[in-house]
A and B are shown apart, each in its own frame.
Chain A
């Protein structure tokens, strides 16, 4: 199985901050990488697939980059509704493993 790690596992930030979350795979997954946002008590929401392709309706302050085994999710200017947990997921090979999640909370 492909292992996926994220860093940091948690971070505190303020509204307006630029936030970057890193995701690493245990092997090259080319760009078969998704990002999800999950708020407490809610189902995850797909933000980005193919490492950098923003889903319809997702604000452009979210962006994804990377290839191979190293990827990043960036929120250019954190908004109050962005405080949540973010997961990356590889879709290169089943099982489609998730990272452990990064919780973004209010500083």
Chain B
């Protein structure tokens, strides 16, 4: 049974770079059946999709964050990572990693996040 676990600092200062890692256990990140995603949730608010990565390194990111976001994968360690530069208080959130299942619809792929990490709280404050 696949499990995901986020790790990283809980408190960072404004203008610094947020770095989080998601360790995948119970399955291989190199399985071509899945993408791997980051999502965040500011306190008391809704969900925001940050982006995803395929084991090959192919990525897609939210344009609202794209200039600040880097998502990478390390297949040798079975993990993927998020870097978000120049953080402000608006980046304070619970950050989740998730597995993205994709299945063929007949002419395109359906994507759904079917396994999630427990989430890690990141606070941006001086």
Contacts and interface: CB of A to CB of B under 8 A. Distances in A.
Given A44-B113, A46-B114, A100 B46 contact: yes
Contacts of B108: 32
Interface in B62-120: 62-64, 96, 98, 101, 105, 108, 110-114, 116-119
B53 to A, nearest CB: 12
B46 A96 contact: no
B47 interface: yes
Contacts of B112: 34, 46, 49, 55, 91
Contacts of A45: 116
Contacts of A99: 46
A100 B61 CA distance: 20
B110 to A, nearest CB: 5
Nearest to A85: B46
A83 interface: no
Interface residues of A, number: 24
A1 B49 CA distance: 12
Judged by DSSP, the binding face of B is strand
A55 B49 CA distance: 21
B116 A44 contact: yes
B125 interface: no
Given A43-B117, A44-B116, A32 B62 contact: no
Interface of A: 1, 32, 34, 36, 38, 42-46, 49-50, 55, 87, 89, 91, 94-101
* A-B pairs, 6 with minimum CB distance: A43-B116, A49-B112, A91-B111, A95-B62, A98-B47, A94-B60
Interface of B: 46-49, 51-52, 60-64, 96, 98, 101, 105, 108, 110-114, 116-119
